[in-house]
Chain A
Amino acid sequence: MAQTAGLAADAAASRSCLLRFARLQLRNDTWAEDVVSETMLAALEKPDSFGGKSSLKTWLVGILKFKVIDCIRTHSREVASSVNCDEDTELEELLFAPDGHFRADAYEWPNPEQSLNSKQFLAVMDVCIDEMPPTIGRVFLMREWVDFMTNEICKQPSVSSSTVWVLLHRARLRLRECLQQKWFGAREQGHTA
């Protein structure tokens, strides 16, 4: 019993992190609260399946992914109707000239390894994902976080593989611009100032 109580306390400490993931993926606060509660319940009902091989948070995130997938499947009709494949079509026009060249000069990202170890950098990543338009953000996280392959994403809304590739590409273009603006570019200015 004491062990379960300890697990419950540790799991509660991870709650905000789980909620953050669920919100970004589902873009619906009620669903996010539900999947996180279900994850907590599932974890507390089967404390023995936590073998201690990974950190508690990693284990919980693993359970959360399944709950998120279930949630997307349950609400597939609502999710599908909110899919907008024409989202962000102007993005590429902004970044590329009519002849297909990048409009802006390429920028350098110095010492990316250093950034990777920074909590602030990961927080900027959160903001950038949160700022993505809903369809693109959701498809991007299905791919990157839930590890869905394209064909699994396509099962959701009535979307073809090539559309998913286009949406993922837009997500990455957006992410790069956002990271440049909010992190790498900002740091460069700080150095020269």
Chain B
Amino acid sequence: MKLPETCREHAALISSGQDRELSAAERAAIHVHLLTCYGCSAWNKHMSVMQSTMARWRSGE
């Protein structure tokens, strides 16, 4: 599988991490990218906020 290069590709891969198991190489690529990329770090954080929100939303309370 082709590893991500741009932010656009990293953002898509971070998203896919919620739907499938990422390979070790993919996880490593994301990890390294997040160290230096502010935009993708924000995306990563926002994804987890959205995940928690969906959990709350799902419960219908």
B5 touches A100 (CB 8 A): yes
Main secondary structure of the interface of B (DSSP, over half): helix
A17 to chain B: which residues have CB within 8 Å? 60
Decide: A121 and B53 in contact? CB cutoff 8 A: yes
- Contact partners of B54 in chain A: CB under 8 A: 125, 144-145
Tell me the bound Cα distance from A172 to B46 in angstroms.
Answer: 10
* Given known contacts A169-B12, A176-B46, A116 and B52 CB-to-CB distance under 8 angstroms: yes
A 130-151 binary contact with B (CB < 8 Å = 1; else 0): 0000000000000111000110
Is B56's beta carbon under 8 Å from chain A? yes
Q: Which residue of B lies closest to A161 (CB)?
A: B20
- Residue of B18, B49, B56 near A109 (CB, 8 A) is B49
Interface contact tally, CB-CB below 8 A: 92
**Measured between alpha carbons, how far is A115 from B42 in the docked complex, in Å?**
17
B1-23 interface (Cβ within 8 A of A): 5-9, 11-12, 15-16, 18-20
Kindly state whether residue A6 has any CB partner on chain B within 8 Å: no
Interface of A is mostly: helix
Residues in A with CB closer than 8 Å to B15 are 165, 168-169, 172-173
Name the interface residues of A47-106: CB closer than 8 Å to any CB of B. Answer: 55, 57-58, 61, 92, 96, 99-102, 105-106
Partner of B53, one of A99, A102, A105, A116: A116
Size bracket of the B interface:
20 to 34
Which residues does chain B contribute within 8 Å of A21, judged by CB atoms?
Answer: 60
B34 interfacial by beta-carbon distance below 8 Å:
no
Whether the pair A101, B20 counts as a contact (CB closer than 8 A) is: no
**Chain B residues positioned under 8 Å from A126 (CB to CB):** 57
Check if A61 sits within 8 Å of B60, measured CB to CB. yes
Measured CB to CB, the nearest residue on chain A to B12 is A169
Q: Which residues of A contact B20 (CB under 8 A)?
A: 150, 161, 165
Of residues 145 through 180 on chain A, the ones whose CB sits less than 8 Å from some CB of chain B are 145, 149-150, 161, 164-166, 168-169, 172-173, 175-176, 179
Offer 10 A-B interface pairs, CB within 8 angstroms, sorted by A.
Answer: A61-B59, A61-B60, A100-B5, A100-B8, A101-B6, A126-B57, A144-B58, A145-B54, A169-B11, A176-B46
Q: Which residues of A contact B (CB under 8 A)?
A: 17, 21, 55, 57-58, 61, 92, 96, 99-102, 105-109, 112, 115-116, 121-122, 125-126, 143-145, 149-150, 161, 164-166, 168-169, 172-173, 175-176, 179
